[in-house]
Amino acid sequence: MTLAVVVATEPIAEGSTAGLPYDEQTAVLERLLGQLASLNVSDVQIISRPGLAAKLPADRTPILESWDLAGDLREIARLARAAAGPLVLLPADLVVNDEQLVRVLGESKAEAAAVIAPLRSARIRPLVRVEGGVVVSAGSPYHQVTDPSGEFRGVLRLDGPMRGKLADACAALAAETGELTEAQPVRILGQAGEPGVFVDNEAVAVIRALRPSEAAGAGRRPQGDDAVGLALVALVRSGGRVTVRPLRDLVCDRVLTEREAAAARRAVEAVNEDRVRLDAAVKDDDGFFTTYFVSSYSRIVARWCARLGLTPNTVTSISMAIAVLAAVWFSDGSRLGLVVGAVLLYVAFVFDCVDGQLARYTRQFSPLGAWLDATFDRAKEYVVYFGLAVGSTEAVKGTLAYGGGVWGLAVAALIVQTVRHMIDFSFEAVRARAEPAPLPVLPATDPSDAALDGRPARTGPAVVRLSARTERIPGLRKAKKIVILPIGERFALISLTAAFFNARVTFIALLVWGSLAAAYTLTGRVLRSAAL
């Protein structure tokens, strides 16, 4: 059971920002509590100040009164130790799309995850520095962030041992809040007279990166204690590995005035969450053929399957059945059989992509589904090899469909693909067991994070470093995926060579390209394994 800790300590003249109106009937906090209830988060604890608690629109929700920031952190530490399941920290004035909450609460496999958005406005949101999808430095009014790359949007989820780590970090920081808050606040980007914001004084590049209208700060900064932001700081500085949950095309932000609440409501209502979820179901790192010849429309098929009530496992089985039918046509030994088989193989691959997209769109995941998908991918390919080999033998001599006896070529192609799969699966198993490099531990009372720049850089083979650099170049990234002959390119190669030539050409092409891809992949896996 997930425990939600909602921090309602930001004051305004009428009480708390938690009571700001979201619409004519609902306050911001009421909406947030309703969202949590809809996600089956029934255990909610609110931390607030004694003077604010009575004004909170939170009937029947326990309210823990805390006098100051130290008390907030101690309550968070206590609740984190007592939690039996996942723990999520949120500010009470948070306006967020349902879809973003689902992604954090229901889909995050990491022991600690935070919602991080691209850098926009340093004046009103805590900044963070992200490296390799992990937060390595988090900011507050009292903590610098050198070279920031994102903003913390107020949602922090923890599970497993990370709850205990957060509890220890918050308890330790609670004992030091006097020293922390008495220090001079970090100033924004070297501008004098602007205390209480979130970035180091010398990050001039950030000024240039920020859009001027947003850098000027349309909204006001939080005036109260941001215990959720400081909890993130404490966890990161204690060496906790916090994974980034990116904010894309959705809303997740604090509102501190009625104007901001109204603007946030308009932004939430402008989002088509179903469309966002459907778009997110399509992988953004697929190969060239899959991206441009399947994924450009397969999401529509996935939504159609969802409306029909089909499960991902059903779609996986349909894909397998179509591939068997393609193999039957390939075995016919005629030009028509090769063309029809090629078309059916393409359709089988489309449904192979749709099953994963449907699973992500409908959030229907299971170990059985993962096993079926991986097993049927191999089975589809090998049954097609069999059909092509049979058809080549059965074809009439002298016709373009005739390729003669190709059983040796078929077996060789099967062996090459089997070796490639073995390399890939064994590498992933080794990488899953590899322990990530420990993150640096910094004193929570030190406003500077300069020690991060003194870390020894992780080194590895030059080829690995070069490969990592090319991953940032979209065109080269796609080209590398073509070279390794992923399943989309393999099925396209089989379909095209079979439709226009014959099985002999198909197997020769698979052997030549597959062998080069295997050598490339093996070299990369060996070098990367050495760098783990």
CA dist., res. 218 & res. 213, Å (int) = 8
For 119-220, list the strands marked E by DSSP: 127-131, 134-138, 150-158
Let me know: does 49 contact 65? Beta carbons within 8 Å: yes
Give the containing element (helix H, strand E) for 298. helix 295-307
Considering the domain architecture, whether residues 333 and 238 belong to the same structural domain is answered as: no
DSSP 490-502: HHHHHHHHHHHS-
CA 461 to chain centre: 28
Compute the Cα dihedral for 20, 24, 25, 31 and give only its sign: negative
- The reply to whether 424 falls in a domain is yes
Strands 87-91 and 3-8: parallel
Instruction: Tell how far CA 138 is from the center of its chain.
Output: 19
Is 253 within a domain?
yes
Domain end residue (candidates: 248, 278, 308): 278
On whether both 173 and 293 belong to a single domain, the answer is no
Residues 272, 296, single domain; the answer is no
Q: Are residues 396 and 462 in the same domain?
A: yes
CB-facing half-sphere around the CA of 155: CA atoms within 13 A: 26
Nearest to 350 by CA among 308, 295, 312, 387: 295
Decide if 423 contacts 518 (C-beta within 8 A). Answer: yes
Select from 278, 312, 341 the last residue of a domain: 278
- Is the domain of 228 the same as that of 253? yes
pLDDT of residue 312: 96
202 and 296 share one domain: no
Distances (CA, A) of 79 to 43, 61, 88, 482: 11, 15, 11, 50
347 and 213 in a single domain? The answer is no
Residue 384's CATH number:
1.20.120.1760
Residue with tokens 């052997």: 511
- Alpha-carbon distance of 487 to 399, in angstroms, equals 29
pLDDT at 331: 95
**In the numeric block, which tokens belong to residue 347?**
């359709």
pLDDT of residue 148: 86
Both tokens of 16, joined, read 């708390």
DSSP β-bridge partners for residue 137? 129
Name the amino acid, one letter, at 3: L
Buried b (16+ CB within 10 A) or exposed e, 359-371: bbbbeeeeeebee
Tokens for 304?
């159609």
> How far apart (Å, rounded) are the C-alpha atoms in residues 450 and 134?
18
pLDDT value of position 207 = 42
The answer to whether the CB of 223 falls within 8 A of the CB of 257 is no
Domain that holds residue 390: 281-433+458-531
Same domain, 135 and 153: yes
Q: Is residue 441 part of a domain?
A: no
pLDDT for position 468: 60
Helix then strand count (H, E) for the chain reads 21, 13
**What is the phi/psi pair of residue 43, to 5°?**
-95, 100
Please tell me the predicted confidence (pLDDT) of residue 41. Answer: 92
Q: Is residue 188 in some structural domain?
A: yes
267: which residues sit within 8 A by CB, 6+ positions away?
251
Residues 341 and 471 in one domain: yes
| All residues at 6 or more sequence positions from 398 whose CB lies less than 8 Å from its CB, including other chains | none
> How large is the C-alpha radius of gyration of the chain?
28
Please, are residues 423 and 524 in contact by the beta-carbon 8 Å criterion?
A: no
Backbone φ and ψ for 335, nearest 5 degrees, come out as: -65, -40
pLDDT tens by residue, the chain, 532 residues: 899 999 999 998 878 999 999 999 999 999 999 999 999 998 999 999 998 888 888 777 889 999 999 999 999 999 999 999 999 999 999 999 999 999 998 876 789 999 999 887 545 678 899 998 999 999 888 888 888 889 999 999 999 999 999 999 999 999 988 777 666 566 544 333 444 444 444 443 444 444 443 333 344 667 788 999 999 999 999 999 999 999 988 999 999 999 999 999 999 999 999 999 999 999 887 888 999 999 999 999 999 999 999 999 999 999 999 999 999 999 999 999 999 999 999 999 999 999 999 999 999 988 899 899 989 999 999 999 999 999 999 888 878 888 889 999 999 999 999 888 887 777 766 666 667 778 889 998 888 888 887 665 555 555 555 666 666 666 677 777 888 899 999 999 999 999 999 999 999 999 999 999 988 888 877 776 666 5
108 and 189 assigned to the same domain: yes
Domain closes at, from 225, 243, 278: 278
Q: Are both 185 and 320 inside the same structural domain?
A: no
Strand-pairing partners, residue 5, are: 45, 89
Look at the chain and report how many structural domains it folds into: 2
* Cβ-based neighbour number of residue 165 at 10 Å: 20
Residue 248 belongs to a domain:
yes
513: amino acid identity, one letter: W
The structure tokens listed for 391 are 């058809």
Residue 220 included in any domain: yes
Longest dimension (CA), the chain: 93
Same domain, yes or no, for 302 and 358?
Answer: yes
CATH number at residue 56: 3.90.550.10
3-state secondary structure of 94: strand
442 part of a folded domain: no
Short-list 452, 443, 437, CA closest to 130: 452
Does residue 363 belong to any structural domain of this protein? yes
Question: 134-138 and 127-131 as β-strands: parallel, antiparallel, unpaired?
Answer: antiparallel
Please indicate, yes or no, whether the overall pTM of this predicted structure exceeds 0.75: yes
Q: For 366-391, give the secondary structure using H, E and C.
A: CHHHHHHHHHHHHHHHHHHHHHHHHH
